[in-house]
């Protein structure tokens, strides 16, 4: 298949240059065709030949859907050295980028993870694979900026179906009528929908916590539950940033769509503008909801800490009550012990009568003990109670002054 002036879109599965399960979608301008297994390599070879002759072959974008190998560096996909070199020649990747590529066997993030990036899968969430608009290229001739290689690792299964639908739903005779930016909008909508499903999944967990008025979720492994909420809040923030990136991509598509009227293939569509606005509205709404869920996760975390603090306060109150009981018992017995120690008085005596029988005898001065000990005990207990009450009042008064000072500062500002 030769390179036609209007360009070509090539699609191939399980190319021998790539690992198994890797899909490659090549778009050049807005025409479509299907290549065989070795077609991609030969297609790029012809592109390179045309470039060497100074021919303008239009804009070229390559999407690679692959499956990341855990043993390799993140966001890297192994290909053959020959195909990598051909991509380098066509896209004119700078030498500084090649130095950061680590190995000529890889197309790494440095060589163009691009418009549709990838987030790492974690225990509790799978971030979106939308990363930014910095690598989107349209309306430029091949040369210093031919296009870009976009690598999507571990894509959702729905995304793989977009390629087939993109090729099969459009009749071959009307490929030239297809909007040049339609593929990017289709991918953007698919990835945004993937984010929405992740958002709803995390939202359901947050709502289940909020509906639990008895807070049973905190009674089982509280540290684990708080950790989950932290991860949810983090995930929501990431999703919100992904939607922010999606809005940046939409803005870029809107500006590119306006430039189509002045390009070599003028084809601006009001319907496409409307679809962009609709997608922008959706992403904005879901970004706000993601931030809302992140804030609600933080509220639940604060609630967990407040409940834990309340439980600790109750335990401390119980300990304080026990200490007060011990103090009162000590105060009751202390005066009597003091009186006996000072006067060295023996009020009870066990002796034998004339028959040798044990007899308990009371001292006639026993009433001295009660006469002195009773008022002394009452005086000590009352003094302790008055001192404790005064201490509590003074602490509450100090706290009220601090609270009033903070409230006055908020209302009147610093003086």
Helix (H) or strand (E) run with residue 33 in it: none
Mean pLDDT of 136-157: 39
Give residue 129's pLDDT: 30
Residue 265, by phi and psi: left (phi above 0), alpha (psi -120 to 50) or beta? beta
Nearest to 60 by CA among 128, 114, 130, 119: 114
Helix (H, G, I), strand (E, B) or coil at 159: helix
Confidence of residue 411 (pLDDT cuts 50, 70, 90): low
pLDDT tens for residues 258-306? 766 665 445 556 777 888 888 888 888 888 888 888 888 888 888 877 7
Distance CA 246, CA 290 (A): 14
pLDDT tens for residues 174-201? 444 566 667 667 777 776 776 777 787 7
Distance CA 212, CA 230 (A): 18
Q: Average model confidence (pLDDT) for the chain?
A: 63
Mean pLDDT of 158-170: 58
Distance CA 101, CA 88 (A): 11
Q: What phi, psi does 15 have (nearest 5°)?
A: -65, 145
Lookup: tokens for 341:
């120690």
Distance of CA 377 to the CA centre of its chain: 64
Quickly count helices (H) and strands (E) in the chain: 8, 8
Those residues with Cβ within 8 angstroms of residue 340's Cβ, 6 or more apart along the chain or in another chain: 369
Mean pLDDT of 307-314: 73
Confidence of residue 162 (pLDDT cuts 50, 70, 90): low
Lookup: tokens for 334:
């202390």
Distance CA 341, CA 49 (A): 114
Lookup: tokens for 328:
């009162």
Mean pLDDT of 319-325: 74
pLDDT higher than 50, residue 99: no
Distance CA 175, CA 169 (A): 10
Distance CA 298, CA 292 (A): 10
Number of other residues whose CB lies within 10 A of the CB of residue 199: 23
């Amino acid at each position: 298949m030769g390179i036609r002036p209007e360009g070509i879109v090539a699609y191939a599965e399980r190319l021998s240059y790539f690992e198994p399960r890797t899909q490659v979608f090549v778009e050049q301008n807005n025409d479509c065709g299907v290549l065989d297994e070795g077609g991609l390599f030969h297609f790029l070879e012809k592109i390179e030949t045309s470039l060497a002759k100074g021919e303008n072959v239009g804009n070229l974008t390559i999407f690679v859907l692959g499956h990341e190998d855990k043993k390799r560096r993140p966001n890297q996909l192994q290909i053959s050295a020959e195909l990598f070199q051909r991509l380098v020649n066509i896209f004119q990747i700078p030498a500084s980028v090649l130095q950061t590529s680590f190995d000529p066997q890889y197309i790494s993030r440095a060589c163009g993870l691009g418009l549709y990036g990838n987030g790492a899968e974690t225990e509790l969430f799978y971030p979106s694979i939308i990363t930014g608009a910095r690598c989107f290229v349209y309306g430029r001739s091949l040369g210093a900026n031919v296009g870009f290689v976009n690598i999507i690792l571990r894509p959702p299964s729905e995304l793989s179906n977009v390629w087939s639908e993109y090729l099969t739903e459009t009749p071959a005779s009307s490929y030239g009528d297809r909007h040049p930016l339609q593929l990017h909008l289709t991918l953007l909508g698919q990835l945004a929908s993937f984010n929405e499903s992740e958002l709803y999944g995390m939202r359901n967990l947050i709502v289940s916590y909020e509906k639990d008025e008895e807070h049973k979720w905190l009674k089982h492994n509280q540290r684990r539950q708080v950790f989950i909420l932290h991860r949810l809040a983090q995930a929501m923030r990431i999703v919100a940033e992904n939607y922010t990136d999606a809005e940046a991509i939409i803005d870029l598509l809107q500006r590119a769509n306006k430039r189509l009227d002045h390009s070599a293939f003028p084809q601006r569509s009001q319907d496409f503008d409307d679809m962009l606005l609709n997608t922008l509205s959706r992403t904005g709404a879901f970004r706000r909801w993601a931030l809302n869920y992140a804030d609600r996760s933080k509220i639940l975390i604060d609630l967990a800490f407040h409940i834990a603090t309340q439980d600790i306060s109750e335990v401390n109150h119980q300990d304080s009550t026990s200490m007060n009981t011990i103090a009162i018992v000590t105060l009751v017995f202390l005066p009597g012990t003091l009186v006996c120690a000072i006067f060295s008085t023996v009020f009870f005596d066990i002796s034998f009568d004339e028959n040798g029988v044990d007899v308990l005898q009371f001292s006639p001065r026993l009433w001295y003990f009660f006469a002195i000990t009773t008022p002394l005990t009452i005086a000590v207990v009352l003094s302790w109670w008055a001192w404790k009450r005064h201490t509590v009042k003074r602490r509450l008064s100090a706290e009220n002054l601090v609270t009033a000072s903070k409230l006055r500062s908020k209302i009147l500002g610093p003086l």
